[in-house]
Structure 1
Amino acid sequence: MAVQPLSEILRPAFEQRYGVPAINIVNDLTIENVLAGAVEASSPVILQTSVKTVRQIGVDVLFAMWTSMTAGIEVPCALHLDHCPDRQVISDCLAAGWNSVLFDASALPVEENQRQTVEVVAEARRYGADVEGEIESITGQEDGVGSDEESKRQTLEVQLRYLEATGVDVFAPAIGNAHGTYKRAPVLDFQRVSDLVAAHPVPIALHGGSGLSDEQFRDCIARGCAKVNISTALKETYMRSNLAFLKDAEAAGKWDPPSLFSHVAADVRAMTRHFAEVFGSAGRA
């Protein structure tokens, strides 16, 4: 139990075909209550930090929050750096104690992406950490990283060459998914996941999870998407919960910050439990 390498958390999920919620936190309240929601669901969980969040809070302070809040934790959990094109931020997080990183070099030519990913994997291994790789950018921006232009999809041959050369622990292909709020119902290329997993059995990361249907989640997970990313849903839950409480507070003329925090915390925990149930990770801890 407790804090584990990402690969150890994903191995049973990949083998047994359930998905582990990988939720992007933004502050101490969301760290505490994503973890609490996972404990309530008896689910493994991955807490993700964007580069923006790392820079806003600071590497040392953010990691101190993590270590404090995971002390004695009863479920497997990992701390992951999401979509990071900056090698220095990757080095800083690995040195501080992050369990895994996503080196997002998808803006580079595949050959250069592959060359640098090999270096990042070697660096991560020195810390006992894991690496997620990506050669096709996921449409949409996530905390300032990414592009709204759809990326060219690489052939299976190119993807396999990258996987074999780099040895990444998790792979994030583009399958029609997108970051942010979907403007229309996404059409996913589920077969790309099946083809990849059949040719090179590696846990797949499903990005752009906020807004997919339960059926789409389950189909992707059944094909090998063991890591399911949730960012926009956390942000919307957090901000809408604040907004609803503050509207009521204004109407009542009652201003009590601890009550606000408790209200938002309950909604974040409920959101985490919900995704654990949908992804099939509830009760797996």
Structure 2
Amino acid sequence: MSVVPLTDILSDAFKERYGVPAINIVNDLTLEAVLAAAVEKSSPLIVQTSVKTVRSIGSDVLYAMWTSMTAGIEVPVTLHLDHCPEREVITECLRRGWNSVLFDASRLPVKENMRQTVEVVAEARSYGAHVEGEIESITGVEDDIGSDKAAAQQDLDVALEFLATTHVDVFAPAIGNAHGTYKRAPVLDFQRVSDIVAAHPLPIALHGGSGLSDEQFHDLIARGCAKVNISTALKETFMKSSLAFLESAAEKQKWDPPSLFRSVRQDVIGMAGSLMTLFGSAGRAG
């Protein structure tokens, strides 16, 4: 098992129609906790890092944490750079050893997006890595990247031309999903996923997963959403768990950081493990 290419994890998930959690970690505790959940649930896992996290921790330290914590791990895992519009950061992470990157050129005209994505795919291939692509911005701001203004959805022919030209390994279409916490129940274009997969079979990445219903997850995974991104749910679990523990510590006037870390770790493991069960990836590592 251990660290494997992104496509090794997603090919089975896409074929068997289950979803693999792609969880954005924010520090060493959350990285260790989601890996522990994957081992506990015998689930493949995609660990994601935002550009903000790469910059706040540093790619050298972050990658050293990754290699140390995944040494001898018993389940397939991979390290992915999420939403990155900056070519220099993509190059930095690929050189360090990230297994895949999402080149987010969705703000560029489609033709220019295509041209640059072709270059990124060629660069990634030289490192044995893979690429996720997108042509429409996913609504919402996540780790300082994105916009709250909904992007126009491209025609199916445009999406298929992008896939045929760039040879990306995973595609992230806009289907009414959004980053962050949904202010109202999202109206999702389920059929668009089916149409893309029918015309060009490849794993679809579902962004804005935090807050969707179990039924919505099951429907989209069954249509080909093999990679299910989770960011907000981890951040909320991490911070709310920390807050609850610290409020209790203040009442008791008992200040013990290791106890805080153990408590938060267990809550993150529980959150990640529940998603693995929900998405159908639990028990798939064998």
The amino acid across from 1:107 in the alignment is R
1:61 aligns with 2:61: yes
Q: CA deviation at 1:21?
A: 0.3
How much does 1:74 deviate? 0.6
Partner in structure 2 of residue 50 of structure 1: 50
- Describe the SS at the equivalent of 2:255: coil
Residue in 2 that maps onto 1:198: 198
Structure 1 counterpart of 2:247: 247
Q: How many residues get paired?
A: 285
Task: Supply the AA of the counterpart residue of 2:21.
Answer: P
- How far has the Cα of 1:122 moved from its partner? 0.0
Aligned to 1:99: 99
How many Å separate the matches in 1 of 2:17 and 2:164? 23
Q: Secondary structure at the match of 1:221?
A: helix
Q: Shift in Å at residue 176 of structure 1?
A: 0.4
User: Following the alignment from structure 1 to structure 2, what is the Cα–Cα distance between the partners of residues 176 and 74?
Assistant: 36
- Which consecutive residues of structure 2, in runs of 5 or more, have no partner in the other structure? none
TM-score, normalised by the number of residues in structure 1: 1.00
Q: What is the correspondence of 1:14-33 to structure 2 with a 5 Å cutoff?
A: 14-33=14-33
Q: Which residue type is aligned with residue 42 of structure 1?
A: S
Q: Map of 1:1-285 to 2, 5 A cutoff?
A: 1-285=1-285
1:186 deviation in Å? Answer: 0.7
TM-score scaled by length of structure 2: 0.99
Q: Over residues 166-212 of structure 1, what are the superposed CA-to-partner deviations in whole Å (9 max), with x where a residue is unaligned?
A: 00000000000000000001111000000000000010000000000
Moved over 2 A (4+): none
How far residue 127 of structure 1 moved from its aligned partner, in angstroms, is: 0.3
How far off its partner does 1:42 sit? 0.5
Q: Secondary structure at the match of 2:40?
A: helix
Cα distance in 2 for residues equivalent to 1:220 and 1:278: 12
Equivalent position amino acid for 1:50 in 2: S
Separation (CA, whole Å) in 1 of partners of 2:252 and 2:240: 18
Alpha-carbon deviation of 1:147?
Answer: 0.5
Distance in 1 of aligned mates of 2:70 and 2:174: 32
How far 1:108 moved relative to its partner? 0.1
Q: CA–CA distance in 2 between the matches of 1:157 and 1:28?
A: 42
Task: Provide the C-alpha distance between the structure 2 equivalents of 1:187 and 1:42, rounded to a whole number of angstroms.
Answer: 33
How far apart in 1 are the matches of 2:142 and 2:114?
Answer: 22
Unaligned runs of at least 5 residues, structure 1: none
Report the 3-state secondary structure (helix = DSSP H, G, I; strand = E; otherwise coil) of the residue aligned with 1:101.
Answer: strand
Q: CA deviation at 1:57?
A: 0.4
Query: Counterparts of 2:273 and 2:74 in 1: how far apart (Å)?
Result: 15
